[in-house]
Amino acid sequence: MRSNEVLLGALLEHFSADHSAWVDLGLDIGASALCRLMDRLGGTKTHVPTLESFVAQLTREMRDQDIRARFNGLNYDELSSEYGIGPRHIRRIVHGAEKK
């Protein structure tokens, strides 16, 4: 454990009654994980998605990968029906025009 992690761990315990978002997060995930998070994102403006939107994004990406894998060049309508999206959307997914 790095000296910053040890110090941060002690500080988190000391300020545990403070209940700031960062102290609470540090107590939840641990000093080591909080240090890595701060090393990676510290000083940046970062959007943290909601759990619901993050899961939805990953689910869409899995769906799109499955569609690309199953696409045979002729089955736009079949995939459209199976996935509940329009044939035009299937075309955008398989031909790389899917908005990111």
Show Cβ contacts of residue 7 under 8 Å, excluding neighbours closer than 6 positions. Answer: none
Q: What is the pLDDT of residues 21-51, one digit of tens each?
A: 888 888 888 888 998 999 999 999 989 899 8
Task: Count the Cβ atoms, other than its own, within 10 Å of residue 35.
Answer: 19
Q: What is the pLDDT of residues 6-29, one digit of tens each?
A: 888 778 877 777 668 888 888 888
Q: Which domains, from first to last, does the chain contain?
A: 3-41 (no CATH), 51-94 (1.10.10)
Q: What is the pLDDT of residues 83-97, one digit of tens each?
A: 999 999 999 999 986
Helices and strands (H and E) in the chain: how many: 6, 0
pLDDT at 4 over 90: no
Task: Count the Cβ atoms, other than its own, within 10 Å of residue 4.
Answer: 13
User: What is the C-alpha to C-alpha distance for residues 15 and 37, in angstroms, rounded to an integer?
Assistant: 19
Torsion of CA 64, 70, 75, 78, to 10 degrees: -70
Show Cβ contacts of residue 5 under 8 Å, excluding neighbours closer than 6 positions. Answer: 31, 32, 35
